[in-house]
């Protein structure tokens, strides 16, 4: 009879324990879903019953303290969780959120990065990391992480767009706005901003070209290499005076490079010096190896012949150019 009584007591204790465990599990689930934001993640269920109950008690207390702004007390409860079960992602995530609220961004980042090692595609964790990056004003890193978020959910592109703008990366901002506009996902405010940015980007490109040309001219003064000269000639293809100056210098420096003769002939044709242009082109074509460049030589020669009234020669070189291109 004594044994039966002991067994009965054990059963009652176990029933009470199971009730408590179920109650706390229910409270934790309810609290996470209703009182907290969507970024909560489930805790592990790989503990003994007694430890699991303690773990959930501390974890629930941490969530409760965080919800009323007691972030340090929340961290203390999370430390108790960590003693029961270390390396738990739910705990790491909560550590990070509480340290973030305390403006301890280095610790916040350390804990969320630990969690992301195990769950690199967890969208809530990634979004939290982006918040940390923004708080640190590290917009380049925020962009890198927000791109991962966008892969998981295209609706998150607007924040990526805002980050491009904060980082003054207008080129990528415009490209993203183009993509969103094609999918009818761009708001009217951003559409008007896009027009302004496109103008700004075009002006920036123009300024960049001017800076590039100035730097190349300066570079060529000290570095008389063919590579620098070729970039310079390509940049000034439509500027007859500068093209003539550097192509003439190029023929003296690199007499076996056909490209400098071609550019010299082009510059002379621009200036209506057709006889000189033809002579330069005829001298340079002997060094040509590639069909495409040879066709370009004949095309330029045709301009010289036409303006010299030499129509038969003009037709011949046009035919040769067509054959090489076909």
14-136: in CATH 1.25.40.10: yes
- HSE-up of residue 5 (Cα within 13 Å, Cβ side): 2
- What pLDDT score does 28 carry? 45
Distance CA 151, CA 163 (A): 16
- Domain boundaries in the chain? 14-136, 223-325
Structure tokens at 159: 């924040």
Query: Which has the higher per-residue pLDDT, 215 or 226?
Result: 226
pLDDT tens digits for 45-64? 555 788 889 999 999 999 99
Give the chain's largest Cα–Cα span: 129
Query: Which has the higher per-residue pLDDT, 12 or 290?
Result: 290
pLDDT tens digits for 156-214? 999 999 999 999 888 888 889 988 988 899 988 888 888 887 776 665 545 445 445 56
pLDDT tens digits for 7-36? 555 555 444 444 444 444 444 444 443 434
Average pLDDT across the chain, whole number: 84
Structure tokens at 53: 């109950």
What average pLDDT does the segment 68-91 reach? 94
> What's CA 142's distance to the chain center, in Å?
10
| Alpha-carbon dihedral sign for residues 274, 275, 278, 279 | negative
The yes-or-no verdict on residue 148 having pLDDT over 50 is yes
Query: Which has the higher per-residue pLDDT, 289 or 71?
Result: 71
Query: Which has the higher per-residue pLDDT, 145 or 235?
Result: 145
- The answer to pTM > 0.75 is no
- What pLDDT score does 168 carry? 86
Smallest CA-to-CA distance from 218 within 208, 232, 230, 206 is with: 232
What average pLDDT does the segment 268-276 reach? 94
Percent of the chain with pLDDT over 90: 56
- What pLDDT score does 274 carry? 95
> Does 223-325 match 14-136 at the fold level?
yes
- What pLDDT score does 211 carry? 47
- What pLDDT score does 20 carry? 44
Q: What is the CATH number of domain 223-325?
A: 1.25.40.10
What average pLDDT does the segment 114-118 reach? 95
| Residue count (the chain) | 326
Structure tokens at 326: 């076909």
């Amino acid at each position: 009879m004594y044994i039966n009584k002991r067994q009965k007591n054990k059963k009652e204790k176990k029933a009470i324990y199971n009730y408590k465990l179920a109650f706390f599990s229910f409270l934790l689930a309810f609290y996470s879903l209703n009182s907290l934001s969507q970024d909560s993640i489930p805790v592990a269920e790989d503990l003994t019953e007694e430890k699991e109950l303690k773990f959930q008690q501390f974890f629930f207390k941490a969530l409760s303290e965080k919800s009323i702004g007691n972030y340090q007390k929340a961290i203390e409860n999370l430390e108790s969780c960590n003693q029961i079960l270390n390396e738990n992602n739910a705990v790491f995530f909560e550590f990070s959120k509480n340290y973030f609220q305390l403006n301890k961004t280095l610790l916040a980042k350390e804990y969320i990065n630990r969690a992301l090692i195990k769950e690199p595609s967890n969208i809530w964790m990634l979004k939290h990391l982006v918040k940390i990056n923004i708080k640190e004003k590290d917009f380049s890193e925020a962009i890198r992480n927000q791109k991962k978020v966008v892969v998981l959910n295209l609706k998150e592109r607007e924040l990526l767009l805002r980050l491009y703008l904060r980082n003054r990366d207008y080129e990528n901002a415009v490209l993203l706005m183009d993509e969103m506009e094609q999918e009818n996902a761009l708001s009217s405010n951003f559409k008007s901003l896009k027009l302004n940015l496109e103008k700004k980007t075009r002006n920036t490109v123009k300024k960049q070209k001017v800076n590039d040309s100035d730097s190349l001219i300066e570079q060529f003064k000290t570095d008389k290499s063919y590579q620098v000269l070729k970039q310079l000639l390509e940049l000034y293809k439509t500027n007859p005076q500068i093209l003539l100056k550097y192509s003439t210098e190029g023929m003296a420096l690199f007499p076996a490079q056909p490209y400098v003769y071609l550019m010299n002939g082009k510059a002379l044709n621009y200036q209506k010096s057709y006889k000189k242009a033809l002579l330069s082109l005829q001298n340079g074509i002997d060094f040509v190896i590639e069909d495409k460049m040879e066709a370009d030589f004949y095309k330029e020669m045709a301009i010289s012949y036409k303006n010299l009234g030499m129509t038969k020669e003009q037709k011949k070189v046009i035919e040769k150019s067509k054959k090489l291109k076909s």
